Amino acid sequence: MTATAQPDPSLERIAQGLEAARANWQGFLVMVAQFPRYSFTNTMLIFQQCPNASLVQGFNNWRKLGRYVKKGEKGIQIFAPRVKKDDDGNKGVRGFHAVYVFDVAQTDGEPLPAELPKVTSDGEDATARAHFDALKTWLLETHACPVTHAHTPGCDGLYHRVSHRIDIEPKNGDICQLGTLIHEAAHALLHNTETEPEGLTRDLRELEAESVAVIVCERFGVPRASGLDYLAAFNATPEQVKTHGERIVRTAQAIIKVLEPREDANESEA
């Protein structure tokens, strides 16, 4: 008699998470904005198990924050790196293992710190201008991509792939300019002559760039609605969701780190 191999529950969970993200792509992007330092895989798993999650921590981390997991609450399974020393005593990641986190709604205790400042709803905003300037500087200094104000008839901004530069329409308000720059920055990072995968269609380029824009804009409260058609049209296989999702999340994380620098960047697991 041949023993029947049992399915790996972790792989089943990932497959379910991919399907959940595919079925509600925009909802998944909003969750990425909630957890900008978690990997694509872990965010996808959180979305599949607790789609309304807004802030997750491990059991002990909640205790450090003065909050306690309510009795009977079920943990959300994600993956954390297994760090071990090699023969020379150097630490390194030697695989991943399942751990459990809990959403803030599953806890009671001390109030949490205030949220990030959001941009205002009108066209002119000092926070939006500061974010625009920070992103503009980073693109030039880190990625050799200059950003200039230039008229762009028929659109709010353009990324010029061959010359690797961005034009932003100067007639628009601060908030519109920021949202546009985030979208065009995604193009500059994902679709330049060195990073764009072969055979990527225009629709997929726009999907990737607008997905990044939705994540970053959601994070900072920037109104964004211009690219919803691309998101609604995303009808991909689980494999495509994973491929594009990983590119999108990495790029959004890079931009968020520019606009929201933090000392501890160890939350990105799996």
Residue-level pLDDT at 90: 78
Residue-level pLDDT at 6: 42
Other Cβ atoms less than 10 A from the Cβ of 9: the count is 10
Assess whether 132 and 248 both reside in one domain: yes
For residue 182, being part of any structural domain is answered with yes
Assess whether 74 and 138 both reside in one domain: no
For residue 1, being part of any structural domain is answered with no
For residue 121, being part of any structural domain is answered with no
Minimal CA–CA distance to 28: which of 50, 12, 6? Answer: 50
Q: What is the largest CA-CA distance in the chain?
A: 75
Alpha carbons within 13 angstroms on the beta-carbon side of residue 100 total: 8
Residue-level pLDDT at 203: 86
Q: Which of 109, 143, 159 is the last residue of a domain?
A: 109
Q: What is the pTM of this model?
A: 0.85
Q: What is the pLDDT along the chain (270 residues), one digit of tens a residue?
A: 334 444 455 678 778 888 888 888 889 999 999 998 899 999 999 999 999 999 999 999 999 999 999 999 999 999 988 877 777 777 877 778 889 999 999 999 999 876 666 665 555 688 999 999 999 999 999 999 999 999 999 999 999 999 999 999 999 999 999 999 999 999 999 999 999 988 888 888 999 999 999 999 999 999 886 666 666 666 677 888 889 999 999 999 999 999 987 654 444 555
The pairing of strands 91-103 and 76-85 is antiparallel
Number of domains comprising the chain:
2
For residue 17, being part of any structural domain is answered with yes
Assess whether 99 and 142 both reside in one domain: no
Give the strands of the sheet with 91-103, arranged side by side: 56-58, 91-103, 76-85
Structure tokens that stand for 154 in this block:
């028929």
Domain hosting residue 18, numbered range? 9-109
Assess whether 133 and 51 both reside in one domain: no
Assess whether 199 and 101 both reside in one domain: no
Q: Which of 75, 109, 143 is the last residue of a domain?
A: 109
Residue-level pLDDT at 22: 80
Assess whether 241 and 158 both reside in one domain: yes
Residue-level pLDDT at 259: 94
Extended strands (E) in the chain: 56-58, 67-69, 76-85, 91-103, 107-109, 147-149, 157-160, 165-168
